[in-house]
Structure 1
Amino acid sequence: MDAELSEDKAGSRRAPLVAADASDRLSSRDQLIRRLATVSQAGHMSASLAILGEYVGASHYLLARYDLVQEHGLDFVVSSNWPFDLVRRLESEIAATYSRSTELEKCLSVLQPKFDLLPDDATVPAGIGRQYCSLTVSVGRTRLSLMLLFDENFVLSPERLREVALLTGYCVSLSTGTSHKSDREFDLTERELECLFWIAEGKTSDEIATILGISRNTINNYITSVMRKTATKTRSEAIAYAVRNNLV
């Protein structure tokens, strides 16, 4: 009898703990969503991705838009803290994989974590594993890919990865209005914004030309146009302007 009472008491003690754990998780998720809403509505996509990376345990994030018209793979890097050379090396791999996928496979991949290994010749930051996770997200007619790197031997949570995919779409949706407003307000084309992003990453005209597959002179024309529209005189001033106005 005493043993049964002891078990009942233990059971009664455990139940509130389980409820508390569930409550803590819900509270934590609510706090996460509130933080994301605040930074996304302010147009800080990089801050949103940093929060999501922290939530899922990722050390590096890269959000890019797919080219759905010509199906050339990744079309535009939205935000990234990946090493530049790694992005450039992986781009061709992603383009090849995307072009081989059927439309049904592309649709089924939405919100589903997919794991791949970085190419053997790719240079990976110290302590980072060679496996990366990609999550496809659709926001309206736009399809995006979120790619995450993790520390070596990090244990991933499939549930959290799916949550991050959903929340990425949520952040992009919130920031879309701000982005469109910025585009109209500062009258910058997508190509000009791309060039602005890459000069903010410290890339030269030759490097940007290689990335975008257009000539160096065309890149310089885009950059000149950016500086004219933003009333800046140097690349450094253009970068500072872009940072102040959440354009990169």
Structure 2
Amino acid sequence: MRAVADSSRIEGDALPEPPSREQLVRKLALAVQSHDVPATLHLLSDYVGAAHFLLARCDLIQEQGLDYIVSSDWPFDLVRRVAPEIASNYAKSSELEKCLSLFTPGFSLLPDDVIVPGSISRQYCSLGLCVGRTRYMLLLLFTEGLILSQERLRELGLLAAYAASSSEQMSNKAERDFELTERELECLFWIAEGKTSDEIAMILGISRNTINNYITSVMRKTGTKTRSEAIAYAVRNNLV
């Protein structure tokens, strides 16, 4: 299986020996204590021989711009060009495909018009992982011709989830998941129960228009476009 690496390396140079698991665990513990997300991702990238990392937060992926990208050392022009395609591909994936991608490395090709730096391959590796209720996607670039260790890639998802869950910085950012008000959560619960806006209005004793405003707010905050998507989000994140 092939992939990509550090644009600063000169072609023909010997690649450095990746750290052992024991070395990684020691360094990872120190980086996690410092709440340094980029440092932990650099360590994990080195462990599998990756040159560049990009960590995206999937529940924010439908937002405009690059807000859903948590941390990345990909060249910025590459991030700006590829980010819309990452979001589009994720949105097109079924819920089953998203679940199957968790902790399972997958490989894709960068678009043909993308300029990749140095000896970096056009192929990249993606790995889904969960941190509590939040789902993330880790994308890795490697040096052209590098043979990946499938064993280390499988470990990578678990180690990345550990590092992310222990990071105060990422935990603070994850608080955006829980900005739903009590009324919004009530409406979300009742639409998950199959109730219409009129029925919810009768149950809660408020107007149908107010219910629709709450539901619109729920979909905006959760990055969903339909009631069905909002229900799926709520189930996935244990909100109902």
TM bucket (normalised to shorter chain) is: 0.5 to 0.7
Distance 2:172 2:53 in 1: 25
Distance 2:173 2:87 in 1: 29
Higher helix share: 1
Q: Which has the larger radius of gyration?
A: 1
Structure 1 stretch 50-59 or stretch 68-77: which is displaced more?
68-77
CA contact (8 A) 1:68 1:143 kept: no
Distance 1:161 1:168 in 2: 11
Answer 1 or 2: higher relative contact order, Cα 8 Å, separation at least 6: 2
1:99 and 2:91 matched? yes
For residue 133 of structure 1, give the secondary structure of its aligned residue in structure 2: strand
1:22-37 aligned within 5 A? 28-37=20-29
State TM-score, norm by structure 2.
0.60
Distance 2:66 2:104 in 1: 18
Runs of 4+ in structure 1 over 3 Å off? 68-75, 177-184
1:17-56 aligned within 5 A? 28-56=20-48
- Taking a change above 3 Å as real, the CA distance of residues 122 and 97 of structure 1, as seen in their structure-2 partners, is same
Q: Which digits, 9 at most, give the CA deviation of each residue in 1:96-120, with x for residues without a partner?
A: 2111111111111100001000001
Deviation at 1:92, TM superposition (A): 1.6
Deviation at 1:70, TM superposition (A): 5.3
For residue 67 of structure 1, give the secondary structure of its aligned residue in structure 2: helix
Quote the residue 2:213 is aligned against: none
Deviation at 1:85, TM superposition (A): 1.0
CA contact (8 A) 2:61 2:87 kept: no
Q: 1:129 aligns with which of 121, 124, 127?
A: 121
Q: Provide the identity percentage.
A: 56
1:160-239 aligned within 5 A? 160-175=152-167, 177=168, 179-180=170-171
Q: 1:61 aligns with which of 38, 53, 66?
A: 53
Equivalent position amino acid for 1:65 in 2: R
CA contact (8 A) 1:65 1:77 kept: yes
Which residues of structure 2 form unaligned runs of 5+? 1-18, 176-240
Distance 1:112 1:182 in 2: 25
RMSD: 2.7
- Taking a change above 3 Å as real, the CA distance of residues 178 and 73 of structure 1, as seen in their structure-2 partners, is closer
Q: How many residues align?
A: 157
